[in-house]
Amino acid sequence: MIVNRDIIIVGLQPWDIEIGSNCKNIALEFSKHNRVLYVNPPLDRLTSFKKSNNPKVLKRKKIIKGNEPELIKIKDNLWNLYPKTIIESISQLNVNFLFDILNKENNRRFAKEIKKAINQLNFKNYILFNDNDIFRSFYLKELLQASIYVYYIRDNLTAVDYWKKQGVRIEAKHISKADVVVANSHFLTNYAYKYNTHSYFVGQGCNVSAFNAEIKHKVPHDIRKIKHPVIGYIGALKSLRLDIETIQYIAKKKSDYSIVLIGPEDETFKKSNLHSMENVYFLGNKKENELPAYLSTFDIAINPQSLNTVTIGNYPRKIDEYLAMGKAVVATKTDEMNFFSDYVYLAENKEDYINLIDKAFAENSEQKQKERIAFAKKHTWENNVKEIYKRIEEIEKKNDRNQPLKKSRLKEKLITYPKLKKLILYLLSPKNQARPRLWVKLFLNPFKHHIGKGAHICRRTRIDVMPFNNFYVGNDTTIEDFTTINNGVGDVIIGDRSRIGIGNTLIGPVKIGNDVRLAQNVVLSGLNHNYENVKKPIHIQGVSTKPIVVKNEAWIGANAVILPGVTIGKHSIVAAGSVVTKNVPAYSVVAGNPAKKIKQYYPKSGKWMSTNSLKIKNTARMIQISKKNAV
């Protein structure tokens, strides 16, 4: 079981969706023992125009304008983020390279908003859980640098027109690069396994505490006058997923039965002949907490699923909800529905539905109801999430074991095959130059390195950063012209609201805190050249490194040099022209070559005192003590 972790969830369904959502239920279960950030899909440009008067679109536009908060606390350990951005509508583009360019830009906009929330909530070492979002989240693994990336597949979306053009190509790559893939059906597990061997069936959850047959519900007013027996369906009424012809056939053949359909309709359902049939009742969409009351009134529950490439691997969560309330269920037979064959009547055609409805009525008993309920209770969200945790933990353990092995193997290969090392370096940077090639700057560094919100790197800087070490610039930080930064032998990390002055040189490993000021021509180098072997030129003896740390609020004067291994304490000052060879205590001033402490702040007196005056006072005090002892 995973506890005390930070988990980020992205996916297809926003928190304010009107129908039941696997992802929301999983998020609630995650949040019992972990901190969870649930990220709504960003608003796309086409939707913002087409549905400009939709209340949900209007809400998102207000958030983008800053009129409403984007980060909302749902409950303890659970936050919901409305991304404060608009992305481009690109799903129907046919040209692959153009789609990839625009999709990468969409992902960057999306990731930028998620990073703001990550910083605000101080999420660390987080798990990224993607609920089947093929396009918008394709690059998030690289952009957010999550410790584990989980791709959750619960629908064969590549068969849907919206995703079909680019989805087949993109989802295969998406599955391939995930650390672990979890699926709610065996069909989808087998599909994912073709691209990633770390693909696992984790089953489906059901809110059995809400769909509880023992709870006596008040009969909703709009179903109260509908005569029994009632054959009912609850869920989205979409022609892509439901067979309208089968429902019409049932209504016609069972004219003495009431057919009750609950859920939002698509245009095809709205225009169907079902609306003209006297024994068919459309009750509209209902809130999730109202559904058990409606389901309690059904005599028979049905799932007349269409058979197509979209639904073939679908695990219908409504079946567990029906069974949890002990209802007799008749459903269309699929490979996945065979899982329910001992508890559900499976129809192969519309004629079967009529016979099986009669059979379900005839065989219904208290014992059968108990068996259905017991079966459904095994499919809780708690058990579902336990399976997800199990697969994540397996991958994390494997990664922990393999990480040092991978690094040592890579190091061994580079030592054993110097030509390989030369080739890699040649691909990353030009010969005899400590700067990256243009393709590294354009296509690798943006995914590896972080530039914070409001940060500004002036145009005439030399940012020689490589993808194999970190380069991080915090929010509202400025790097002035003619500064050189190199992370070739160690990370360069710069905190929030710091300023790197004109003509500075930063060679990693260097870590600079928040609110730090570096004046002009300051040098911080965590690198030293080895020189001990007098028979070899120094430049071929390699280098050694010791990290430099500059803590919050420090101020380093012009032309100062900070040598490897030095830590500059909080709120300390290094005078102009100083060469710092040793650690500088917090709240002190150092100057000279080598730098020595000349002032220190004393909290008791609330004053900065020079070290010379302190020496005089200490000497006078010692003389007084000596005189007293002599007397």
**Among 559, 550, 186, 156, CA closest to 338:** 186
Report how far residue 281's alpha carbon sits from residue 279's, in angstroms, rounded to the nearest whole number.
7
Per-residue burial over 266-286, b if 16 or more Cβ lie within 10 Å, else e, is eeebeebebeeeebbbebeeb
Other C-beta atoms within 10 Å of 301: how many?
25
174 part of the active site: no
**Contact in structure between 262 and 291 (CB atoms under 8 Å):** yes
With a CB cutoff of 8 Å and minimum separation 6, the contacts of 383 are 203, 205
User: What pairing do the DSSP bridges indicate for beta strands 484-486 and 462-464?
Assistant: parallel
Report how far residue 236's alpha carbon sits from residue 238's, in angstroms, rounded to the nearest whole number.
6
Residue of 228, 456, 529, 539 marked catalytic: 529
> Coil, strand or helix: which one is 155?
coil
Report how far residue 49's alpha carbon sits from residue 37's, in angstroms, rounded to the nearest whole number.
28
Look up residue 34 and give its amino acid: N
Burial of 193 (0-12, 13-18, 19+ CB in 10 A): middle
> Coil, strand or helix: which one is 298?
coil
Which run of H or of E encompasses 628?
Answer: helix 611-630
Number of H helices, E strands in the chain: 19, 39
Query: Which residues are part of the catalytic machinery?
Result: 529
